Chain A
Amino acid sequence: MKRVYRLAGDVQVRKESWGLLFYSRDRHRLFFVRSGGWLYPHHFDGRWDTASLISDIAGRTGSPAGVVEKSILNLAGNLVENGVITHELC
Protein backbone atom coordinates (compact mmCIF):
# COMPACT_ATOMS: atom_id res chain seq x y z
CA MET A 1 0.00 0.00 0.00
CA LYS A 2 1.29 3.45 -0.90
CA ARG A 3 0.53 6.62 0.98
CA VAL A 4 -0.21 9.83 -0.91
CA TYR A 5 -0.70 13.30 0.50
CA ARG A 6 -3.35 15.73 -0.56
CA LEU A 7 -4.38 19.20 0.60
CA ALA A 8 -7.39 19.25 2.91
CA GLY A 9 -10.54 20.47 1.21
CA ASP A 10 -10.43 24.01 2.61
CA VAL A 11 -6.68 24.50 2.29
CA GLN A 12 -4.60 26.26 -0.34
CA VAL A 13 -0.82 26.48 -0.51
CA ARG A 14 1.80 28.62 -2.20
CA LYS A 15 5.56 28.55 -2.45
CA GLU A 16 7.59 31.13 -0.59
CA SER A 17 11.35 31.70 -0.53
CA TRP A 18 11.58 29.99 2.86
CA GLY A 19 9.19 27.13 2.14
CA LEU A 20 5.42 26.67 1.93
CA LEU A 21 2.58 28.82 3.18
CA PHE A 22 -0.66 26.95 3.81
CA TYR A 23 -3.95 28.80 4.19
CA SER A 24 -7.09 27.31 5.70
CA ARG A 25 -10.19 28.99 4.33
CA ASP A 26 -12.58 27.73 6.97
CA ARG A 27 -10.38 28.41 9.95
CA HIS A 28 -8.79 31.65 8.63
CA ARG A 29 -5.51 30.21 9.65
CA LEU A 30 -2.01 30.12 8.23
CA PHE A 31 0.68 27.50 8.59
CA PHE A 32 4.27 28.43 7.85
CA VAL A 33 6.49 25.52 6.89
CA ARG A 34 10.18 26.27 6.57
CA SER A 35 10.93 23.64 3.95
CA GLY A 36 13.18 25.74 1.71
CA GLY A 37 13.44 24.16 -1.73
CA TRP A 38 12.46 20.69 -0.63
CA LEU A 39 8.71 20.93 -1.08
CA TYR A 40 6.48 22.52 -3.69
CA PRO A 41 2.70 22.86 -3.83
CA HIS A 42 2.41 20.12 -6.43
CA HIS A 43 3.70 17.60 -3.91
CA PHE A 44 0.26 17.77 -2.31
CA ASP A 45 -1.82 17.17 -5.42
CA GLY A 46 -2.46 13.55 -4.48
CA ARG A 47 -0.14 12.11 -7.12
CA TRP A 48 2.99 11.75 -5.00
CA ASP A 49 3.41 8.75 -2.80
CA THR A 50 5.89 8.83 0.06
CA ALA A 51 8.61 7.00 -1.85
CA SER A 52 8.42 9.20 -4.94
CA LEU A 53 8.33 12.32 -2.80
CA ILE A 54 11.44 11.29 -0.88
CA SER A 55 13.17 10.28 -4.07
CA ASP A 56 12.34 13.58 -5.72
CA ILE A 57 13.66 15.66 -2.82
CA ALA A 58 16.79 13.59 -2.37
CA GLY A 59 17.49 13.67 -6.09
CA ARG A 60 17.08 17.43 -6.40
CA THR A 61 18.84 18.47 -3.19
CA GLY A 62 21.45 15.78 -2.73
CA SER A 63 20.23 15.17 0.83
CA PRO A 64 20.47 11.56 2.09
CA ALA A 65 17.18 9.73 1.54
CA GLY A 66 17.09 8.62 5.16
CA VAL A 67 17.29 12.21 6.39
CA VAL A 68 14.63 13.30 3.92
CA GLU A 69 12.34 10.45 4.90
CA LYS A 70 12.56 11.22 8.60
CA SER A 71 11.92 14.93 8.07
CA ILE A 72 9.08 14.46 5.62
CA LEU A 73 7.28 11.88 7.71
CA ASN A 74 7.52 14.12 10.76
CA LEU A 75 6.29 17.14 8.85
CA ALA A 76 3.50 15.27 7.09
CA GLY A 77 2.33 13.82 10.38
CA ASN A 78 2.19 17.29 11.85
CA LEU A 79 0.26 18.68 8.90
CA VAL A 80 -2.18 15.78 8.95
CA GLU A 81 -2.72 16.26 12.66
CA ASN A 82 -3.50 19.94 12.07
CA GLY A 83 -5.94 19.21 9.27
CA VAL A 84 -3.78 20.87 6.62
CA ILE A 85 -3.31 17.78 4.49
CA THR A 86 -4.78 14.33 4.35
CA HIS A 87 -3.01 11.07 3.69
CA GLU A 88 -4.60 8.34 1.71
CA LEU A 89 -3.58 4.77 1.19
CA CYS A 90 -3.74 3.66 -2.42
Chain B
Amino acid sequence: MNYAEWPLSAPVNLTWEVTHRCNLRCVHCLSASQDEMADELGLAESRAIVDQLAGMGVFEINFGGGEPLLKGHFLPLLDYIHGKGIVTCISTNGTVLNNEAIARFTGNPLVHVQISLDGATPEVNDRLRGEGTYRRILKGLERLAGRGISLSINTVVTALNFDQLDELEALAASYGARLRVSRFRPSGRAKASWDKLRLSAAQLEVLSDWLGERPGVLTGDSFFSISGEGRRGLGLDMCGAGRLTCCLDPIGSVYPCAFLQEDEFCAGDLRKATFREIWESSPVFLKFRRLEPASCRTCPRFDFCRGGCPAVARFVRKDIGSPDPECLKAVAGGHGRRSGVNDAIIGGG
Protein backbone atom coordinates (compact mmCIF):
# COMPACT_ATOMS: atom_id res chain seq x y z
CA MET B 1 0.00 0.00 0.00
CA ASN B 2 1.21 3.47 -0.84
CA TYR B 3 0.06 5.73 1.97
CA ALA B 4 0.38 8.78 -0.25
CA GLU B 5 -2.53 7.38 -2.24
CA TRP B 6 -4.55 6.41 0.81
CA PRO B 7 -4.07 9.25 3.33
CA LEU B 8 -6.16 8.86 6.46
CA SER B 9 -8.15 11.67 8.04
CA ALA B 10 -7.51 10.11 11.45
CA PRO B 11 -5.58 7.18 12.83
CA VAL B 12 -7.24 3.79 12.71
CA ASN B 13 -5.99 3.11 16.20
CA LEU B 14 -4.03 4.90 18.82
CA THR B 15 -1.83 3.66 21.62
CA TRP B 16 -2.59 5.50 24.84
CA GLU B 17 -0.24 5.19 27.74
CA VAL B 18 -2.51 6.43 30.49
CA THR B 19 0.20 6.24 33.13
CA HIS B 20 3.84 5.37 33.46
CA ARG B 21 3.18 3.92 36.87
CA CYS B 22 3.86 0.20 36.96
CA ASN B 23 4.25 -2.41 39.67
CA LEU B 24 6.69 -4.42 37.55
CA ARG B 25 10.16 -3.53 36.27
CA CYS B 26 10.44 -5.53 33.08
CA VAL B 27 13.92 -5.35 31.62
CA HIS B 28 12.55 -4.72 28.13
CA CYS B 29 9.80 -2.20 28.99
CA LEU B 30 9.34 0.02 25.96
CA SER B 31 8.54 3.10 28.01
CA ALA B 32 10.80 2.39 30.99
CA SER B 33 7.71 2.59 33.17
CA GLN B 34 8.10 2.83 36.89
CA ASP B 35 6.54 5.88 38.52
CA GLU B 36 3.59 8.05 37.56
CA MET B 37 4.67 11.08 35.53
CA ALA B 38 4.15 14.50 37.03
CA ASP B 39 0.90 16.04 35.84
CA GLU B 40 -0.61 13.05 34.05
CA LEU B 41 -3.93 13.74 32.33
CA GLY B 42 -7.01 13.71 34.53
CA LEU B 43 -10.35 12.12 33.74
CA ALA B 44 -11.98 15.30 32.44
CA GLU B 45 -9.05 16.01 30.13
CA SER B 46 -9.02 12.41 28.98
CA ARG B 47 -12.72 12.47 28.21
CA ALA B 48 -12.25 15.62 26.16
CA ILE B 49 -9.56 13.85 24.16
CA VAL B 50 -11.89 10.90 23.61
CA ASP B 51 -14.51 13.33 22.29
CA GLN B 52 -11.99 14.53 19.72
CA LEU B 53 -10.96 11.03 18.72
CA ALA B 54 -14.56 9.89 18.39
CA GLY B 55 -15.37 12.96 16.33
CA MET B 56 -12.59 12.05 13.91
CA GLY B 57 -13.69 8.45 13.61
CA VAL B 58 -10.84 6.69 15.41
CA PHE B 59 -11.86 3.04 15.55
CA GLU B 60 -9.70 1.66 18.31
CA ILE B 61 -7.68 2.72 21.34
CA ASN B 62 -4.96 0.44 22.64
CA PHE B 63 -4.07 1.01 26.27
CA GLY B 64 -0.60 0.36 27.54
CA GLY B 65 1.83 2.10 29.74
CA GLY B 66 2.69 1.66 32.51
CA GLU B 67 0.04 -0.58 33.90
CA PRO B 68 -3.29 0.97 32.86
CA LEU B 69 -5.21 -0.72 35.67
CA LEU B 70 -3.16 1.26 38.18
CA LYS B 71 -4.59 4.51 36.84
CA GLY B 72 -7.36 5.53 39.19
CA HIS B 73 -9.76 6.75 36.53
CA PHE B 74 -9.04 4.01 34.00
CA LEU B 75 -12.33 2.14 34.31
CA PRO B 76 -14.53 5.26 34.15
CA LEU B 77 -12.50 6.35 31.13
CA LEU B 78 -13.05 2.95 29.56
CA ASP B 79 -16.80 3.28 30.09
CA TYR B 80 -16.74 6.67 28.44
CA ILE B 81 -14.84 5.36 25.43
CA HIS B 82 -17.19 2.41 25.01
CA GLY B 83 -20.10 4.82 25.16
CA LYS B 84 -18.66 6.33 21.99
CA GLY B 85 -18.50 2.92 20.32
CA ILE B 86 -14.70 2.87 20.21
CA VAL B 87 -13.01 -0.51 20.52
CA THR B 88 -10.38 -0.88 23.21
CA CYS B 89 -7.44 -3.21 23.57
CA ILE B 90 -6.09 -3.28 27.09
CA SER B 91 -2.52 -4.39 27.47
CA THR B 92 -1.97 -5.36 31.08
CA ASN B 93 0.58 -7.32 33.04
CA GLY B 94 -2.31 -9.27 34.57
CA THR B 95 -1.11 -8.97 38.14
CA VAL B 96 -3.42 -6.23 39.40
CA LEU B 97 -6.76 -7.35 38.03
CA ASN B 98 -9.65 -6.72 40.37
CA ASN B 99 -13.28 -7.79 40.29
CA GLU B 100 -14.45 -4.43 39.03
CA ALA B 101 -12.12 -4.56 36.03
CA ILE B 102 -13.05 -8.15 35.22
CA ALA B 103 -16.73 -7.25 35.37
CA ARG B 104 -16.12 -4.43 32.88
CA PHE B 105 -14.37 -6.78 30.48
CA THR B 106 -16.75 -9.70 30.76
CA GLY B 107 -18.82 -10.22 27.64
CA ASN B 108 -17.95 -6.76 26.35
CA PRO B 109 -17.57 -6.87 22.55
CA LEU B 110 -15.63 -3.60 22.61
CA VAL B 111 -12.86 -5.01 24.80
CA HIS B 112 -9.81 -7.03 23.90
CA VAL B 113 -7.52 -7.91 26.80
CA GLN B 114 -3.89 -8.65 26.18
CA ILE B 115 -1.84 -10.17 28.98
CA SER B 116 1.91 -9.80 28.78
CA LEU B 117 3.81 -13.02 29.33
CA ASP B 118 7.35 -13.46 28.12
CA GLY B 119 8.06 -17.09 28.69
CA ALA B 120 6.34 -20.44 28.93
CA THR B 121 8.23 -21.19 32.12
CA PRO B 122 8.95 -19.16 35.26
CA GLU B 123 12.67 -19.42 34.56
CA VAL B 124 12.37 -17.53 31.30
CA ASN B 125 9.47 -15.19 31.99
CA ASP B 126 10.75 -14.08 35.37
CA ARG B 127 14.15 -13.15 34.00
CA LEU B 128 12.38 -10.58 31.83
CA ARG B 129 9.39 -9.52 33.91
CA GLY B 130 10.60 -10.08 37.45
CA GLU B 131 10.78 -12.76 40.10
CA GLY B 132 7.48 -14.48 40.80
CA THR B 133 5.60 -12.81 37.95
CA TYR B 134 4.96 -15.98 35.94
CA ARG B 135 2.78 -17.40 38.67
CA ARG B 136 0.95 -14.10 39.19
CA ILE B 137 0.35 -13.60 35.47
CA LEU B 138 -1.10 -17.08 35.12
CA LYS B 139 -3.42 -16.37 38.02
CA GLY B 140 -4.61 -13.32 36.12
CA LEU B 141 -5.21 -15.41 33.03
CA GLU B 142 -7.19 -17.91 35.06
CA ARG B 143 -9.44 -15.12 36.32
CA LEU B 144 -10.14 -13.87 32.80
CA ALA B 145 -10.56 -17.17 30.98
CA GLY B 146 -13.98 -18.54 30.17
CA ARG B 147 -15.85 -15.27 30.67
CA GLY B 148 -16.48 -14.33 27.08
CA ILE B 149 -13.55 -11.94 27.05
CA SER B 150 -11.50 -11.59 23.87
CA LEU B 151 -8.17 -12.59 25.33
CA SER B 152 -4.62 -12.87 24.08
CA ILE B 153 -1.20 -13.50 25.52
CA ASN B 154 1.37 -11.03 24.26
CA THR B 155 4.95 -12.17 24.07
CA VAL B 156 7.81 -9.93 23.09
CA VAL B 157 10.04 -12.31 21.20
CA THR B 158 13.59 -12.28 22.46
CA ALA B 159 16.57 -14.60 22.36
CA LEU B 160 15.45 -15.87 25.77
CA ASN B 161 11.95 -17.03 24.87
CA PHE B 162 12.47 -17.73 21.18
CA ASP B 163 12.53 -21.49 21.80
CA GLN B 164 9.26 -21.42 23.73
CA LEU B 165 6.86 -20.10 21.13
CA ASP B 166 5.17 -23.46 20.60
CA GLU B 167 4.63 -23.80 24.34
CA LEU B 168 3.35 -20.24 24.59
CA GLU B 169 0.88 -20.85 21.79
CA ALA B 170 -0.36 -23.98 23.57
CA LEU B 171 -0.51 -22.15 26.88
CA ALA B 172 -2.60 -19.39 25.32
CA ALA B 173 -4.94 -21.96 23.80
CA SER B 174 -5.39 -23.62 27.17
CA TYR B 175 -6.94 -20.36 28.40
CA GLY B 176 -9.04 -19.90 25.27
CA ALA B 177 -6.68 -17.12 24.26
CA ARG B 178 -4.63 -16.37 21.16
CA LEU B 179 -0.92 -15.72 21.13
CA ARG B 180 0.39 -12.41 19.88
CA VAL B 181 4.09 -12.10 19.27
CA SER B 182 5.49 -8.61 19.40
CA ARG B 183 8.74 -7.33 18.11
CA PHE B 184 11.52 -6.58 20.56
CA ARG B 185 12.54 -3.00 19.92
CA PRO B 186 15.26 -0.88 21.45
CA SER B 187 13.27 1.72 23.35
CA GLY B 188 12.88 2.46 27.04
CA ARG B 189 14.71 -0.09 29.18
CA ALA B 190 15.10 -2.35 26.16
CA LYS B 191 17.89 -0.13 24.88
CA ALA B 192 20.15 -1.49 27.59
CA SER B 193 19.32 -5.11 26.84
CA TRP B 194 19.09 -4.87 23.06
CA ASP B 195 22.37 -6.60 22.26
CA LYS B 196 21.70 -9.40 24.71
CA LEU B 197 18.05 -10.08 23.91
CA ARG B 198 17.57 -9.31 20.23
CA LEU B 199 17.07 -12.16 17.80
CA SER B 200 19.89 -13.29 15.56
CA ALA B 201 19.45 -13.32 11.80
CA ALA B 202 19.00 -17.07 11.88
CA GLN B 203 16.34 -16.80 14.58
CA LEU B 204 14.49 -14.15 12.59
CA GLU B 205 14.34 -16.51 9.64
CA VAL B 206 13.07 -19.36 11.79
CA LEU B 207 10.48 -17.04 13.32
CA SER B 208 9.32 -16.00 9.88
CA ASP B 209 8.79 -19.63 8.90
CA TRP B 210 7.11 -20.41 12.22
CA LEU B 211 4.66 -17.56 11.77
CA GLY B 212 4.05 -18.52 8.19
CA GLU B 213 2.69 -21.82 9.38
CA ARG B 214 0.51 -20.27 12.09
CA PRO B 215 -2.06 -17.86 10.70
CA GLY B 216 -3.82 -17.88 14.08
CA VAL B 217 -0.91 -16.21 15.82
CA LEU B 218 -1.21 -12.43 15.92
CA THR B 219 1.57 -9.93 15.34
CA GLY B 220 1.81 -6.18 14.90
CA ASP B 221 2.86 -3.69 12.28
CA SER B 222 6.45 -3.32 11.09
CA PHE B 223 6.88 -6.89 12.21
CA PHE B 224 5.76 -9.96 10.34
CA SER B 225 2.33 -9.45 8.87
CA ILE B 226 -0.50 -10.13 11.25
CA SER B 227 -2.37 -12.03 8.57
CA GLY B 228 -1.70 -15.52 7.35
CA GLU B 229 -2.14 -14.16 3.84
CA GLY B 230 0.56 -11.61 4.39
CA ARG B 231 2.95 -14.19 5.74
CA ARG B 232 3.14 -16.16 2.56
CA GLY B 233 6.36 -14.35 1.82
CA LEU B 234 9.46 -13.75 3.81
CA GLY B 235 9.71 -10.29 5.21
CA LEU B 236 8.59 -7.56 7.53
CA ASP B 237 5.35 -5.69 7.34
CA MET B 238 5.13 -1.94 6.98
CA CYS B 239 5.14 0.64 9.73
CA GLY B 240 1.95 2.56 10.43
CA ALA B 241 3.50 5.24 12.63
CA GLY B 242 1.95 8.61 11.91
CA ARG B 243 -0.08 7.03 9.12
CA LEU B 244 -2.40 4.42 10.58
CA THR B 245 -1.54 4.90 14.22
CA CYS B 246 0.13 7.12 16.77
CA CYS B 247 0.84 7.25 20.48
CA LEU B 248 -0.46 9.44 23.28
CA ASP B 249 1.60 9.59 26.45
CA PRO B 250 0.28 10.14 30.00
CA ILE B 251 0.65 13.93 29.86
CA GLY B 252 -0.98 14.47 26.47
CA SER B 253 2.04 14.46 24.19
CA VAL B 254 1.52 12.81 20.84
CA TYR B 255 4.16 10.70 19.07
CA PRO B 256 4.20 8.68 15.85
CA CYS B 257 4.58 5.49 17.84
CA ALA B 258 5.16 4.19 21.35
CA PHE B 259 8.75 3.26 20.54
CA LEU B 260 9.79 6.79 19.67
CA GLN B 261 8.68 8.76 22.71
CA GLU B 262 11.51 11.23 22.65
CA ASP B 263 11.43 15.00 22.39
CA GLU B 264 12.54 15.17 18.78
CA PHE B 265 9.59 12.97 17.77
CA CYS B 266 6.92 14.78 19.77
CA ALA B 267 4.27 15.79 17.26
CA GLY B 268 2.29 17.99 19.63
CA ASP B 269 0.71 18.49 23.01
CA LEU B 270 -3.03 17.94 23.44
CA ARG B 271 -3.07 20.53 26.19
CA LYS B 272 -2.06 23.12 23.61
CA ALA B 273 -3.53 21.91 20.33
CA THR B 274 -6.36 19.74 19.08
CA PHE B 275 -5.75 16.21 17.94
CA ARG B 276 -6.91 17.11 14.46
CA GLU B 277 -4.39 19.96 14.25
CA ILE B 278 -1.59 17.65 15.31
CA TRP B 279 -2.61 14.79 13.03
CA GLU B 280 -3.02 16.99 9.99
CA SER B 281 -0.22 19.51 10.43
CA SER B 282 2.53 18.27 12.70
CA PRO B 283 5.90 18.39 10.90
CA VAL B 284 6.81 15.17 12.68
CA PHE B 285 3.85 13.30 11.23
CA LEU B 286 4.36 14.81 7.80
CA LYS B 287 7.95 13.62 7.91
CA PHE B 288 6.96 10.09 8.94
CA ARG B 289 4.44 9.87 6.14
CA ARG B 290 7.25 10.52 3.68
CA LEU B 291 9.77 8.13 5.20
CA GLU B 292 11.05 5.80 2.52
CA PRO B 293 14.65 4.64 2.70
CA ALA B 294 16.12 5.39 -0.71
CA SER B 295 18.19 2.23 -0.68
CA CYS B 296 15.01 0.11 -0.35
CA ARG B 297 13.26 1.45 -3.42
CA THR B 298 14.61 -1.16 -5.78
CA CYS B 299 13.69 -3.99 -3.43
CA PRO B 300 10.81 -6.18 -4.67
CA ARG B 301 9.26 -5.98 -1.20
CA PHE B 302 9.32 -2.19 -1.03
CA ASP B 303 5.57 -1.79 -1.46
CA PHE B 304 4.97 -4.15 1.45
CA CYS B 305 7.38 -2.91 4.08
CA ARG B 306 8.47 0.57 2.93
CA GLY B 307 11.69 0.18 4.84
CA GLY B 308 10.37 -1.39 8.03
CA CYS B 309 10.61 0.02 11.53
CA PRO B 310 12.07 3.53 11.91
CA ALA B 311 12.50 3.05 15.66
CA VAL B 312 14.88 0.11 15.24
CA ALA B 313 16.66 1.88 12.39
CA ARG B 314 17.12 4.95 14.48
CA PHE B 315 18.62 3.07 17.42
CA VAL B 316 20.90 0.83 15.42
CA ARG B 317 21.81 3.14 12.56
CA LYS B 318 21.11 6.53 14.17
CA ASP B 319 18.81 7.41 11.29
CA ILE B 320 15.04 6.92 11.14
CA GLY B 321 15.25 7.12 7.37
CA SER B 322 17.55 4.15 7.01
CA PRO B 323 16.39 0.60 6.26
CA ASP B 324 15.27 -1.63 9.07
CA PRO B 325 18.36 -3.46 10.34
CA GLU B 326 16.28 -6.60 10.80
CA CYS B 327 15.05 -6.70 7.22
CA LEU B 328 15.07 -10.40 6.41
CA LYS B 329 16.03 -9.80 2.85
CA ALA B 330 19.12 -8.02 4.02
CA VAL B 331 20.07 -10.33 6.87
CA ALA B 332 19.23 -13.57 5.11
CA GLY B 333 19.24 -12.79 1.41
CA GLY B 334 15.57 -13.72 1.16
CA HIS B 335 13.47 -13.01 -1.85
CA GLY B 336 10.48 -11.37 -0.21
CA ARG B 337 7.25 -12.51 -1.77
CA ARG B 338 3.81 -11.46 -0.76
CA SER B 339 0.41 -11.15 -2.30
CA GLY B 340 -0.81 -7.70 -3.19
CA VAL B 341 -4.26 -7.82 -1.66
CA ASN B 342 -5.81 -4.45 -1.21
CA ASP B 343 -6.43 -4.57 2.45
CA ALA B 344 -4.41 -4.03 5.53
CA ILE B 345 -4.27 -5.52 8.93
CA ILE B 346 -3.76 -3.48 12.02
CA GLY B 347 -1.54 -4.52 14.83
CA GLY B 348 -2.56 -2.63 17.89
CA GLY B 349 -0.89 -2.27 21.14
Contact = CB atoms under 8 A, between A and B. Distances in A.
B57 interface: yes
22 contacts: A12-B59, A14-B9, A14-B10, A17-B7, A18-B5, A21-B8, A21-B12, A23-B346, A25-B59, A25-B60, A25-B109, A26-B150, A28-B226, A28-B347, A28-B348, A29-B227, A29-B343, A29-B345, A30-B343, A30-B346, A32-B6, A32-B343
B57 A14 contact: yes
A31 B348 contact: no
A28 B8 contact: no
Interface residues of B, number: 26
B229 to A, nearest CB: 10
B300 interface: no
A25 B87 contact: yes
A88 interface: no
Contacts of B201: none
A10 B346 contact: no
A28 B9 contact: no
Given A12-B59, A23-B59, A25-B87, A18 B345 contact: no
Contacts, number: 51
A63 B150 CA distance: 44
Q: How large is the interface on A (under 10, 10 to 19, 20 to 34, 35 or more residues)?
A: 10 to 19
Nearest to B7: A17
B6 A18 contact: yes
Nearest to B345: A29
Which 6 A-B pairs have CB atoms at the shortest separation, nearest pair first? A14-B57, A23-B59, A30-B344, A25-B87, A31-B343, A28-B346
A25 B110 contact: yes
A31 B6 CA distance: 12
Nearest to A30: B344
A21 B58 CA distance: 11
Contacts of A23: 12, 59-60, 346
Interface in A26-79: 26, 28-32
B81 to A, nearest CB: 13
A4 B8 CA distance: 28
B25 to A, nearest CB: 30
Interface string B320-349: 000000000000000000000011111110
Contacts of A30: 12, 343-346
Nearest to A22: B343
Contact of A16 (B1, B9, B344): B9
Interface in B1-60: 1, 5-10, 12, 57, 59-60
A32 B2 CA distance: 12
Contacts of A10: 109
A12 B13 CA distance: 13
Contacts of A18: 5-7
Interface string A1-17: 00000000010101111
